[in-house]
C-alpha cells in the first residue's frame, strides 16, 4: 500500500507529482505529501497533509506555488504511526537535507532508531520510514548513492523508496525490494512510480525494477544498478494501456465504470484464447500441464473467492485434487507441494505481499507456478513460471469487479483446457462449454441493461444493519464475493454461509425482517436451495433471491424479491451471478452516501503482511 511518485525534468514538478498521486490514491488515502527542491531557496520544500490528496492539492493550489523541476510525492496507508501531518511522507532527515518516500515496512526500524537516537539524532515521527531518511544522512559523505547502499545493507523488510537530496538536485535515487516500483523514460525527464497509471500521461516507456535493484534518475536518463551496486543494462518495456482506461470517463465512480466495462474486458480476455473450437493459451512448454497430481490455488480477498470457484470447477472437470488457500495462511501451514503440484496464484495487482510470499514458498518446495494476473510486468507475474494475463485494463476502484470476472473466466477456461488434455471430458461437453464462453459477454450485457431493477431492490434494503448471503457449492463461493462486496463499500455487516451450515448456529441470528440474500443459480442444487429459503422465511427473514431465468417463477412463489441472470452453462454461473451482487452493493453504498471508490481503512494493493 502507499503510492510513490517521483519526477525530474524541465517542467514544474509539483503539478506532475500531484496529478500522479491522484492516480495512486487507490493504494492509500489517509495522508499525502510532496518534497521538491526549491530553486529559489536551494533547499528542500516539504508539504504534507493528513486526509485525502485533495487537502494537500488545495493547499498548494495544484502545485502552482512550488518552483521546482524535481521532487517526490506520496499517498499513505498508515502502518507505523496514525495518520497525521508528522507521520505523512516524505519523511525528512533532521537537517532537512534528505527526503524519502516509502512503500513497505522496515522491520528492524526500532533497533535502528534506538542506535540513531544514541548518536543524538532527533526524531519527529512514529514512522519506520523516518529511520531510512535519518540513516541516509548519517552515512552521507557527499555521495548519495553510496550512502543509500550502506543503508540498504542495514535495513530489513519490504521497501520501494524514492530519495531526494538537497545537495544533488539533479538526481533522484530509487530502490526496490518486495514492493512495486517502476521507472519511466520521458522526453528530457524521468519518473519513479508505484504503478504505470501514475505516469501514463507522460510516457509509456518503462523499466520494471527487480528486487534489490537501485536506480539513479536524471533529466537525461536512468542508470540502474544491481544489489552489488554494479551498473546494469535493462530492457525498456512499452505499456499498452490507454490513458482514458484509467479515467472515469463521465461515470460518477470508477467502480460503476468498471462494472459496466466487464463484457468488453471479458471479450478482450477470452476472444484471443478461443480459436476454431479450441482453447489456445499462452505458449506454455509442452510438459507444463502434464503429470499434475495436485493443484494448489493461492490468493487473497476476491481473488481467493475466484480460487474457491476454481476448486469446484477443476475438481469436477479434471478429477485432480485441488486445495484453495489464503495467501496469508499458505506459508505457515507447511503446505504439501512437489514438482507434480500445479500452483495457481491469482492476483489482480500482482503485488499482494501475502500472495507473493505464498508463491515463493511454493517455488521453494518445487511446485510449478502458474499465475493469473491483471497488471503486466508485476512482481507475481515476473516470478511465475507461466502467466495468464486477464487483460481487464487498469482497475482503480478499491473493490474489484472486472478483475474478478476476468480471473474467474480465465480460471474456468484453464479448467476446461486441463480436462480436455486429460481426457476427462466428452467432446460434446467440451464444445458446449466453449460455446458458453463465447456467449458470456452478451449475457452479461443483458444483466447490465436491467440494472434499474437492482437499483430498486437496493432502495428497498439499503438501511438494513446486517445481511446474510447463503448458497451451496458454486453459490456459496459466489455468496462469499457478494457479501465481501457489500460490506467493504457499504459498511453493512454481512456474512456468507454455506446454506447447509446455517442450522449449526447462525440460524439463531435470523429474526423478523433479517435480510437473507439467497443464491440459487446452480441448477443441480436448486431444490436444496429452495428448502433453505423456506427455512429462513419461516423464521421471519426477508429473502432477496438470485436465480436463473428458468427458475424465476418458482422462486418468486417463496422469496420476497427475485433477481435473475440468464441461463448459462454451470461453469460460468458465478461469472454472471456476481454482476447483480456487484450492482446491489454499489447501489446500496450509493444510497448510504459511502465513499465508494475509496472505502475506509482499505487499500487496493496490499503490500504489507
Contact between 328 and ligand G6P (CB under 6 A)? no
Name which of 349 and 547 has its Cβ closer to ligand G6P: 349
Contact between 387 and ligand G6P (CB under 6 A)? no
Name which of 130 and 488 has its Cβ closer to ligand G6P: 488
Contact between 421 and ligand G6P (CB under 6 A)? no
Residue 136 beta carbon to ligand G6P: minimum distance, rounded to whole angstroms? 31
Residue 293 beta carbon to ligand G6P: minimum distance, rounded to whole angstroms? 26
- Residue 544 and residue 563 in contact, taking contact as beta carbons nearer than 8 Å: yes
**What is the four-CA torsion angle of 412, 418, 419, 420, rounded to 10 degrees?**
110
What is the CB neighbour count within 10 angstroms for residue 196? 23
Contact between 602 and ligand G6P (CB under 6 A)? yes
Residue range at the interface with ligand G6P (CB under 6 A); choices 88-96, 296-304, 418-426, 517-525: 296-304
Name which of 346 and 415 has its Cβ closer to ligand G6P: 346
Interface residues for ligand G6P in 220-249 (CB under 6 A)? Answer: none
Helix 573-591 × helix 402-422 angle, to 10°: 170
| Burial track 17-47 (b if 16+ CB lie within 10 A, e otherwise) | bbbbbbbbbbbbbbbbbbbbbbeeeeebbbb
| Burial track 335-372 (b if 16+ CB lie within 10 A, e otherwise) | bebeeebbbbbbbbbbbbbbbbbbbebbbebebbbbbb
**What is the four-CA torsion angle of 528, 532, 533, 535, rounded to 10 degrees?**
140
Residue 580 beta carbon to ligand G6P: minimum distance, rounded to whole angstroms? 18
Interface residues for ligand G6P in 345-384 (CB under 6 A)? Answer: 347-349, 352, 355
Name which of 349 and 564 has its Cβ closer to ligand G6P: 349
Residue 85 beta carbon to ligand G6P: minimum distance, rounded to whole angstroms? 26
Residue 64 beta carbon to ligand G6P: minimum distance, rounded to whole angstroms? 33
Residue 26 beta carbon to ligand G6P: minimum distance, rounded to whole angstroms? 9
Contact between 606 and ligand G6P (CB under 6 A)? yes
- Number of H helices and number of E strands within the chain? 18, 27
Binding mask 390-409 for ligand G6P (x = CB under 6 A): --------xxx---------
Interface residues for ligand G6P in 184-203 (CB under 6 A)? Answer: none
Mapped onto helix, strand or coil, the DSSP state of residue 320 is coil
Number of residues that bind ligand G6P (CB under 6 A): 15
- Residue 417 and residue 289 in contact, taking contact as beta carbons nearer than 8 Å: yes
Distances in whole angstroms, Cα of residue 121 to Cα of each of 95, 108, 132, 280: 10, 17, 12, 60
Name which of 291 and 609 has its Cβ closer to ligand G6P: 609
Distances in whole angstroms, Cα of residue 6 to Cα of each of 92, 189, 557: 15, 11, 60
Mapped onto helix, strand or coil, the DSSP state of residue 297 is strand
Q: What angle do CA 174, 32, 187 make, to 5 degrees?
A: 45
Helix 262-270 × helix 402-422 angle, to 10°: 30
Q: Which of 303, 520, 532, 547 binds ligand G6P (CB under 6 A)?
A: 303
Contact between 18 and ligand G6P (CB under 6 A)? no
**Which amino acids are annotated catalytic?**
2, 604
Interface contacts to ligand G6P, rule CB under 6 A: 300-303, 347-349, 352, 355, 398-400, 602, 604, 606
Amino acid at each position: 500500500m502507499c503510492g510513490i511518485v517521483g519526477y525530474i525534468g524541465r517542467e514544474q514538478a509539483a503539478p506532475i507529482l500531484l496529478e500522479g498521486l491522484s492516480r495512486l490514491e487507490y493504494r492509500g488515502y489517509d495522508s499525502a505529501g510532496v518534497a521538491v527542491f526549491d530553486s529559489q531557496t536551494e533547499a528542500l520544500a516539504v508539504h504534507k497533509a493528513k486526509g485525502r490528496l485533495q487537502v494537500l492539492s488545495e493547499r498548494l493550489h495544484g502545485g502552482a506555488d512550488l518552483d521546482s523541476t524535481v521532487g517526490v510525492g506520496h499517498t499513505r496507508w498508515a502502518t507505523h504511526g496514525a495518520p497525521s501531518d508528522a507521520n505523512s511522507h516524505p519523511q525528512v532527515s533532521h537537517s532537512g537535507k534528505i527526503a524519502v518516500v516509502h512503500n513497505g515496512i522496515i522491520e528492524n526500524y526500532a533497533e535502528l532508531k534506538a542506535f540513531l537516537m544514541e548518536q543524538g539524532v532527533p526524531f519527529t515521527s512514529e514512522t519506520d520510514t523516518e529511520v531510512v531518511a535519518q540513516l541516509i544522512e548519517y552515512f552521507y559523505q557527499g555521495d548519495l548513492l553510496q550512502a543509500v547502499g550502506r543503508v540498504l545493507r542495514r535495513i530489513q523488510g519490504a521497501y520501494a523508496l524514492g530519495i531526494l537530496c538537497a545537495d544533488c538536485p539533479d538526481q533522484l535515487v530509487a530502490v526496490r525490494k518486495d514492493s512495486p516500483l517502476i521507472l519511466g523514460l520521458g522526453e528530457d525527464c524521468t519518473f519513479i512510480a508505484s504503478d504505470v497509471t501514475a505516469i501514463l500521461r507522460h510516457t509509456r516507456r518503462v523499466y520494471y525494477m527487480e528486487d534489490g535493484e537501485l536506480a539513479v534518475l536524471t533529466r537525461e536518463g536512468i542508470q540502474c544498478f544491481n544489489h552489488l551496486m554494479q551498473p546494469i543494462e535493462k530492457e525498456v518495456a512499452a505499456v499498452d494501456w490507454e490513458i482514458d482506461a484509467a479515467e472515469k470517463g463521465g461515470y460518477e465512480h470508477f467502480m460503476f465504470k468498471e462494472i459496466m466495462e466487464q463484457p468488453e474486458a471479458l471479450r478482450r480476455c477470452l476472444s484471443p484464447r478461443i480459436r476454431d473450437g479450441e482453447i489456445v493459451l499462452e505458449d506454455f512448454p509442452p510438459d507444463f500441464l502434464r503429470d499434475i497430481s495436485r493443484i494448489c490455488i493461492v490468493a487473497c480477498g476476491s481473488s481467493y473467492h475466484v480460487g474457491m470457484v476454481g476448486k469446484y470447477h477443476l475438481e469436477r472437470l479434471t478429477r485432480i485434487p485441488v486445495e484453495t488457500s489464503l495467501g496469508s495462511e499458505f506459508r505457515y501451514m507447511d503446505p504439501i507441494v512437489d514438482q507434480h503440484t500445479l500452483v495457481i496464484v491469482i492476483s489482480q495487482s500482482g503485488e499482494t505481499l501475502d500472495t507473493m510470499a505464498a508463491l515463493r514458498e511454493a517455488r521453494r518446495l518445487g511446485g510449478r507456478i502458474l499465475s493469473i494476473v491483471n497488471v503486466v510486468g508485476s512482481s507475481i507475474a515476473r516470478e511465475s513460471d507461466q502467466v495468464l494475463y486477464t487483460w481487464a485494463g487498469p482497475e482503480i476502484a478499491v473493490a474489484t469487479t472486472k478483475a474478478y470476472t476476468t480471473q474467474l473466466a480465465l480460471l474456468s477456461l484453464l479448467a476446461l483446457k486441463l480436462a480436455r488434455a486429460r481426457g476427462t471430458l466428452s467432446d460434446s461437453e467440451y464444445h458446449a462449454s466453449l460455446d458458453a464462453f463465447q456467449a458470456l459477454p452478451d449475457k452479461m450485457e443483458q444483466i447490465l441493461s436491467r440494472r434499474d431493477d437492482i437499483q430498486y431492490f437496493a432502495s428497498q434494503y439499503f438501511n438494513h444493519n446486517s445481511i446474510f448471503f447463503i448458497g451451496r457449492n458454486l453459490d456459496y463461493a459466489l455468496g462469499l464475493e457478494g457479501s465481501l462486496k457489500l460490506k467493504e463499500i457499504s459498511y453493512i455487516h454481512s456474512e456468507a454461509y454455506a446454506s447447509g451450515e446455517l442450522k449449526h448456529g447462525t440460524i439463531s441470528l435470523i429474526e423478523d425482517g433479517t435480510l437473507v440474500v439467497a443464491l440459487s443459480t446452480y441448477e443441480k442444487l436448486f431444490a436444496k436451495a429452495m428448502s433453505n429459503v423456506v427455512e429462513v422465511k419461516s423464521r421471519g427473514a426477508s429473502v432477496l433471491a438470485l436465480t436463473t431465468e428458468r427458475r424465476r417463477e418458482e422462486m418468486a412463489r417463496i422469496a420476497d424479491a427475485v433477481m435473475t441472470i440468464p441461463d448459462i452453462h454451470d461453469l460460468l454461473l458465478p461469472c454472471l451471478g456476481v454482476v447483480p451482487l456487484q450492482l446491489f452493493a454499489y447501489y446500496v453504498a450509493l444510497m448510504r452516501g459511502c465513499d465508494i471508490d475509496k472505502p475506509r481503512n482499505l487499500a487496493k494493493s496490499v503490500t504489507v503482511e
